[in-house]
Structures are given as C-alpha cells and as structure tokens.
Structure 1
Amino acid sequence: MISRQSILSTQLSLTDGVAPSPVKTLDKHIKMTLNPYQFYRGSAQLFYADLATGILTLPDMLLAGPGKTIIMGDCHLANFGFLTEEGSHGDQVIFSPNDFDDACVGYGIWDLARFLISLSLAGDLGRGLLTGQYLTDEIEITDDLKSIQEDDVKAACKTFLSAYRDALKRILKDEDVRYQVLKKFDHDHVLNACCRKAAKRAAGGDDFYTKSQLAKSTVFEDGKLRFTENPFKYKRLHEKDYLALETTFRPYLDDEILDIVARLGAGIGANHAKRYYFLVGPAELHDIHDLSLCHIVEVKQQCPASPTLAFPDVSPVNTLNPAHLAANCQRQLQRRPDLLLDEVVWRKKQWLVRSRHHARLSVKPESLILQKKHPGEAFCQYANACGIALALAHSRGDRRSVRFEHFMVELLPEHDKALTDACLEYSEQVIQDHALLCDIIRLSGHISPHKSATEPTVHNCPTRGTCLPY
C-alpha cells in the first residue's frame, strides 16, 4: 500500500514541481506548515486526488451530468471578497469569488464540499490559536477573544447550503437573478465595514490616492510613476528581462508600460508560480491626480487547474491550455469580468494576463473566527454571503437554461447531511496531512527540531486588521 507521505509528496509535486523533502523545500510548503487551514489552501490537488481514489466520498447523485457547471475549483472561505467589476476599469464594488486559478468545468458539489471543509478547518484554526497550538501574526491574540465552536461550524455549513439553494430557487423563478451581485450589507453585518472600506479605495473613493492597491504599490517622483521599492514584494528586473517582457506583453495592454517588476511571495496555492506586475498608464502624467488613469496588470505563469489533474475527462473544455481555460472560466463566473483578461504563450509556458483590482479586499479568517462577542453569528453571516455569491457564479456557467439549477435544488436537500458529514470527517484527514507535512519539513531543517508537528513556523506579516488588501 502506498504511504500517505508518498501520496502527499506526489500530489504537491504535481503542481509545485518540487515535493517537500530534506533536500529542497519551497517557500510555499513552509507557508503551508502554519496551520491545517493554510495547508488546505495550498493543496487543492490533494483534495481532488482523494476524491478520485475514494478517500473522500461525496453523494453520487450529485455527480451526474446536470450537476456540471463552471466551478471555482479552489473554493474556500478566503477565496471570496470585495473587488471592482470589470477589474481596474470599473468602480462598482461587489462581494464575489475572487480566485479563478483553478476554475474549470466540474461538478458544483466539488465547490460546495471544498467550502464546507474550509469552514471546519476555520473552526480548528480558531480553537488552535486560542490554545497556542497554532500561531499567527495576522491579529493580536488577547484573552477577551472567543472562537467559533463545533456547533457554530455546523450552523455555518447549514447556512451556507441553504443560502446557496435559495439563491438557485430565485433564479428558477427569474433567470435575470443570475446577473445580480452582492454589493450592500446591513449595518450589523460582518461584511459591512469591509464593503465600505473597499468602496473608498475604488477610483473616485475618498481613500483612492492613499489606500488603494495602486496607490500603496507606487510612488510618483520627478514626474514619473513607478513601483515602490519593497524587496519583500517586488524585485527589480535586469534590463534584458525587462525588455523581453515589455516587447512580448505590450500588445495585450491598453496603454503604455510605465514600470515592470517581478512579484514575490504572493498567495498560497500558486505561491511558487512566476508572476510580474506591469504598471500601465499614459506616458505623460502631470501629477498624482492622474493616478486614476493608471492600473496594475498581473502576468502570471498559469498551472493546470487542480481538478483537471485528478479528473482529466470531465469535459473537453478542460483540455485548453491552463491560461486559456482560466481566462474563459473567469469570464463566465463573473457578471462583468475584467476588461483586461487574456492569455499568452511565452517561453513555452502559458501566462495569464489580467488587471489587478484597485479595491480588492477580503476578510482575514483569523478576524472572522476570533471575536470578542458572538463569533458564531459573524461566521454564519459570512457563510450565507458566500453561499449566495457562489450560487450566482455557478448559475452563469450556463446562461441558456436552468438545468443546473433544477438539478441542484431538487437533489441538495436530500443529501445535505451526508455531504456535510463527509466534509467534516475529511477535515480530520487534512489536519493529519498538515502534521505530516510539518514532520517532513522539520526533517529538512526548515522547522526547528524542538517544534512539534502542531507548532508550525510563523512568518511575520506587516499587515494587520480585519480587511486584508491583496
């Protein structure tokens, strides 16, 4: 029988190109040792491998043909957030899925299951932070904080599935509902403050010139706009590389290239992938007030969508090159997709080109699950919003019919409990896999020998607060 360690190493190497070992370990794998939730974020392909081999078993009835749609592929609570529609070209701030790197044609239940498991792991994370089992530098852990409990996780799972199903029901009554978005929340909703912050950072907002992604990433000096010097985020390029990037990607951009840098250490799942940031705008800028004419474009090496590695025959669409597939799926999942969204083959690799959102914000899991009062209520509010946003996205996978909606609305109620139970049980497997990865990396010397598998290495993060700007 193949050991779990061998399975783990094989699956991580499929997308990362390197398996964790005493010889060589990626920064991504070090990040994944922080806690089981971080491990889960970086190992989507392991989730699908376990589905394919039966380690995780979902209700068969929901895996029939009508249950297919365009899926996120890596659906978890940190892959939802606020962004501006039409990318950096729009000002309408909405709450929606915000990560499409693993998007493809798949079964809707795959996204549902992956999200439910993330809810369970979030509960484990909260309790582990309060007991000192896990460490974080995202928020300050104080004695007055309370964590969500197992009952809160179960309530959030139920809320998420109900919200998802109810949104699909509304679409069955009126197909135009699939073009709705979440853009406003009640005063006491956990997402209200974050929504208002994001709106202020959009072009035309009060904080655009100080707190938008564009403003915080750039500096205007001597009549020129360029990326700020930040060795932890950006790396300056050699002249030869700069020229090659400029020549290759200029036709895909909507204005002049003002600066190019390599982006370092972004994300968890695709942390190892090469990516470059292009500062794009008019060649002549008069002052900082011309900032709204500019935007940041990401050019990212695209890896195969995780579901396609374990399930290569789900749809012929998934045989598109990874960047083409990601771009096509993002266009379908979003109501108004980024205006700048394309794919390029360069140096025998596929690259995804897309604009970065000025006001992209998401809620840190730590701030969501640890609160002074009623964390379970906030957790359920968030799960409800994600359920609605996911249903709207799934529904856009087929805008000509409501076959998918009929199928899910009819069958989900019969299998809610079985689906939830399977996901809660699988979360224990993820916790064990995280401990196994910590043991592997500790042998390599990247984790101090005195630390146990449940005491991961902590990386300092300068960003604090409820809303995490990307």
Structure 2
Amino acid sequence: MTTVKDRLKLGKDARKHCPRSSQAQHQQSERDPIPLIRASSEGRVQSLVALRYGRMLVSPFTFYRGNALLQAHDLSRTPDMGLRSTICGDCHLMNFGGFATPERNLLFSVNDFDEVHPGPWEWDLKRLVASFLIAARDLRHGATVEENVCRQLIGAYQQSMAVCAEQSALEIWYDSITYDDLLRQARSDNTLEHVQRAMEKAERRTHAELLPKICERDNQGRLLIRDDLPEIFHLHNTTTLLDADDAWLRLADWRPLYDTLMRDYRSTLAGDRRELLARFQVQDLAFKVVGVGSVGTRCMVALMTDNQERPLFLQIKEARRSVLADYVKSKSRARHNGQRVVEGQRLMQSASDLFLGWTTGPHGRHFYVRQLRDMKVSAELETFDDETFAAYARTCGRALARAHAKASGQAALISGYIGKSDTLADALYQYAQAYSDQNERDFERFQQACRKGRLLARSEADFAADHLP
C-alpha cells in the first residue's frame, strides 16, 4: 500500500515528462474560431442561436463564457501531467457560487456541470485562471490586479490541495466551504459586506419568493407561468420562439412532454425524494432561456404546487455531449448525458440538490433536473473592489481544489506535482496572459463575422420588439 509520501513523490516524478514550466505553453492559433462556434450551435433551437451570439457579443468576457468548445480545442494541444479524473469542463469564474444543501445550509462550490467529463485537472485550472484575467481586463482593474487575482487563485488551489493530500478519504468527502467560513476569512469590510449580502440574498431566493415574479393567475384562477420574452415563453402560444418545424410543436400541448420527462426522472431519485415529489401537482410548463453558453439548448421550467398551493419550481435542462468528449481519450462511464451531469455534480460537490436527477425526453434527447434558483447566488463582479476580487479568486481556487481532490482521490499526486514553489503559478499566469490575448483575437473575428452576416446576432430587445402588441 502506497503512503502519502509515496504518492507525493509520484506526483513530483511527473515533472520529468511534464515540467511545471511547460504549463505556460499556449500555441498561438491562427485557426478560424467561427467553424467551432458554429459547431457548438448545432442541435440548438435555431431562432435562439442568434440570441446566444448577441449575448456573446457584449464583451470579450461574455464571449469567453459562451463558448467552452473553443478552449477545449485549444487545451487539447497543451501539456499535462497525465492524470485523468472527473473535471468540470467549463470552469470559469461565473460557474461558482452559493447553493443550499438538502439540510438548508449555504455552501460555496462549482455549480455548473453541463460539460463535466474525465480529463486533465490542469484544464479546469487553466480555464478558471484565464477567466479571472479576462474578467479583470474587462472590468479595467489594471495589470497589477490582473496578476494578483491569478496568483491568489493558484496559491489557494495549491494550499488547499496540500491540505487534502494529508486528509483521509472521508475527511475530503465531507469537507465543504460554508458562508460562515467566508465571513471569518474576510480581510476587508467591503468583502465582509459582499458575503453578508450574498447570504441575505440566498435566504430570499426561495420558491415562494419566485412565485409572484414569474407567475400569474388567468381568468379562471389557474396559476400559470408568465411569458417574458425572450427569457420565458410557452411552447404552444403565439409567443413561442421554437422553430416552425420543431417536433415539440406537433404535440397537442405541454402535458405529453411533461409526462414523458417525468416518467424516467422519478426512478433516478431516492425513495424518500420520490415520495416528496409525489406531494406536488404540476400546474404549468414553459421554456426558459438560461445563461450564455446554454442559450438555444432546451430548458424547461415546471411549476408545481402542494395541497396548500405552495410552489416548487423544477428546471429540466437539456444535457448535450460534453465539449471535452472529442478532445480527451478518456470516456465517460455514463452513456446518458443527463446521468453524466448528475453523477459528475454529485462527485465534485460535497452536497447536491434535493431533486437532482436525469431523464430522457421525446426523440431521445437527454435532460437533467434540479430545483430552479433555490438559494442560489452568483458573484456580482461589477461591484467588487480589488480585495474582494482577490478574495473571490482565493475562494474559487480553494473550491476547485476540493472538488478535484474529492472527484479524483489523488490529492497527494496533484500536490506532489505542484510542489511548494511558485513555479506552477508563474507558468499558469503566463498561460492566462497568452490565452486572454487569444480570446481577444477570437472575439474580434467573431464581431467581424456578425457584422458581415456570417453569423446572425440579436439582442434581448430585438426579440422583445418582435412581439410587441
């Protein structure tokens, strides 16, 4: 049986074939990003692809968020130490945040797993570091802050992985980052205020609080989801944004779709949670447009109520093939993409959504299911001062290290490779600088493609204007 010392040495030995300094490498690519962007739009609701492009056009940062496939392609040409384990696959700084455990405790961790897949842990860390540098540039924090947030992030990952290397399997499995931890670690009054505000916001983000914001009663007193284009719309109303030839429009109404989705989903829940779900009756189902990279994929919101007419909102989101699948030799053991997302989330988080499960929809589309918005909070980057931005970087670094340690069971191996020096931090900061420059070049070519009509981009206002009375 190998000891911690043995595994640390194995990690250190990996530097022989993959020196830490080599992690700085990014082969400047003159490849045209447009075909890859088009490829990532295949299979989506075509009328919404233009909205996806419109959101990506806002800034180099939203462009970076909106197309994980492009960086997966580029990362496949970079060195790594050879370890393959479950990774997030789309690990940018807006895919972290707060969420509630089934016991109603507020935790902080990675919270988006659409692209989860076996791969090199370095890919997650590189995408995350680059996202911080790109965001800092976008928000004009300056070169000093850009470097500081990157180094704070990598340092936190390094330190947390070293701690995990000495912990038992159960200690790693149960460990979590609570918002009480973040309060104690706040180094400035502004950071403390941000954490407190996030906690207060999370406590308000309940199903009951969401009900009046997106629902209304019709003339017969029925509780329905309110159309709000282009964010929310009913499939069979005149406001639908589905393509005219979409197979879902051939259904009589939303109920056959809901029944199909629920049939397999229930069997993926534990018995007690199936019993809880049975205490709710569905009232309505609508399409919800979410995020940047996910725009155009199918995402439904089901409004359900108990016998006191208290609500439960379930989000039923399409699970497509991971963007990593074509770029790593390792295969996901789950053949169902919804199952891949769910099992990846359960493996990387210390606790997961009470209603997390998966299902298959009409025509074999894969979906996963979770609660909509329940105590979920994300960073408000525009309000961060320099220290709060650095604190957020440290927290994301720590959370990612914990997720990688839990998913891989190889914390000592990773920690041995990283070591105690700044060598990896120096390399990854160089990588982030190079990839940020690449992202800006790609963004310029994307803008040109939209201006010249190679790609069609439309804003939220454009869609809303189309349906003005």
TM-score by length of 1: 0.76
1:424 matched to 2:424:
no
Partner of 1:51: 75
Q: 2:332 aligns with which of 313, 317, 320?
A: 317
Contact kept, 8 Å, 1:302 with 1:351, in 2: the verdict is yes
Compared with structure 1, are the counterparts of its residues 355 and 231 closer, same or farther at alpha carbon in structure 2 (3 Å cutoff)? same
1:18–1:25 Cα contact (<8 Å) kept: no
1:421 Cα deviation from its structure 2 partner: 0.3
CA contact (8 A) 1:235 1:262 kept: yes
Aligned ranges 1:235-314 → 2 under 5 Å: 235-238=233-236, 240-251=252-263, 252=265, 254-255=277-278, 256-282=280-306, 284-285=307-308, 291=310, 294-311=311-328, 313=329
Range with greater deviation from structure 2 (243-252 or 105-114): 243-252
Aligned length: 399
| TM-aligned CA distance change 1:199 to 1:324, over 3 Å | same
Which residue in the other structure is 1:338 paired with? 353
Q: How does 1:304-453 map to 2 (within 5 A)?
A: 304-311=321-328, 313=329, 315-317=330-332, 320-346=335-361, 347-368=363-384, 375-399=385-409, 402-410=411-419, 413-444=422-453
CA contact (8 A) 2:56 2:63 kept: yes
Superposition TM-score, scaled by structure 2 size: 0.76
Select between 346-355 and 107-116 the one with higher mean Cα deviation.
346-355
Deviation at 1:320, TM superposition (A): 2.7
Shift of 1:414: 3.2
Do the aligned partners of 2:61 and 2:135 also contact (CA within 8 Å) in 1?
yes
What is the CA-CA distance between 1:446 and the residue it aligns to?
A: 8.0
| Residue 178 of structure 2: aligned partner | 182
Cα deviation 1:276-295 (Å, max 9, x = unaligned): 1012332x225xxxx3xx32
Q: From 12, 21, 29, give the equivalent of 2:37.
A: 12
Aligned CA distance change for structure 1 residues 44 and 334 (closer, same or farther; 3 Å) = same
2:245 corresponds to:
none
Asked if 1 retains the 8 angstrom alpha-carbon contact of 2:207 and 2:313, the reply is: no
Residue by residue, what CA displacement relative to the aligned partner does 1:243-289 show, whole Å, maximum 9, x if unpaired? Answer: 2122113343523343333334311111110111012332x225xxx
* Of 18, 21, 28, the match for 2:52: 28
**AA partner of residue 68 (structure 2):** A
**Is the alpha carbon distance of 1:75 and 1:190 closer, same or farther for their aligned partners in structure 2, counting shifts above 3 Å?**
farther
CA–CA separation in structure 2 for the residues paired with 1:97 and 1:24: 27
Per-residue Cα deviation, 1:4-25 (whole angstroms, up to 9, x for no partner): 7873122112221189x9x996
Any idea what SS the aligned residue of 1:63 has? coil
Tell whether 2:170 aligns with 1:153: no
Worse-superposed segment, 236-245 or 154-163: 236-245
**C-alpha RMSD over aligned residues:** 3.2
The answer to whether the Cα contact below 8 Å between 1:194 and 1:363 also exists between their aligned partners in 2 is: no
Which residue of structure 1 lines up, in the alignment, with residue 242 of structure 2? none
Instruction: Confirm or deny: 8 A CA contact 1:78 1:364 kept in the other structure.
Output: no
Determine the structure 1 residue equivalent to 2:246: none
> Is 1:216 paired with 2:213?
yes
Aligned twin of 2:13: none
1:116 aligns with 2:112: no
Q: Aligned partners of 1:164, 1:118: CA distance in 2, in Å?
A: 15
Give the C-alpha shift of residue 40 in structure 1: 0.5
Report SS of the residue matched to 1:363: coil
Runs of 5+ unmatched residues, structure 2: 1-27, 237-250, 267-276, 463-469
Which has the higher mean CA deviation after the structures are superposed, 336-345 or 113-122?
336-345
C-alpha spacing 1:44/1:386, structure 2 compared with 1 (3 Å) = same
Amino acid at match of 2:396: C
Classify 1:48/1:414 alpha carbon distance in 2 versus 1 (closer, same or farther; 3 Å).
Answer: same
Q: How does 1:110-149 map to 2 (within 5 A)?
A: 110-127=123-140, 148-149=141-142
Question: Which of 160, 180, 201 does residue 167 from structure 1 map onto?
Answer: 160
Deviation at 1:201, TM superposition (A): 5.2
What secondary structure, in the 3-state scheme, does the structure 1 residue paired with 2:179 have? coil
Could you tell me which runs of 5 or more consecutive residues in structure 1 were left unpaired when the two chains were aligned: 128-147, 369-374, 448-455, 462-470
Question: 1:69 corresponds to which residue?
Answer: 85
**Does 1:91 pair with 2:87?**
no
> How big is the shift at 1:75?
0.9
State the shift of 1:191 in Å.
5.4
The CA distance in 1 between the partners of 2:215 and 2:49, in whole Å, is 32
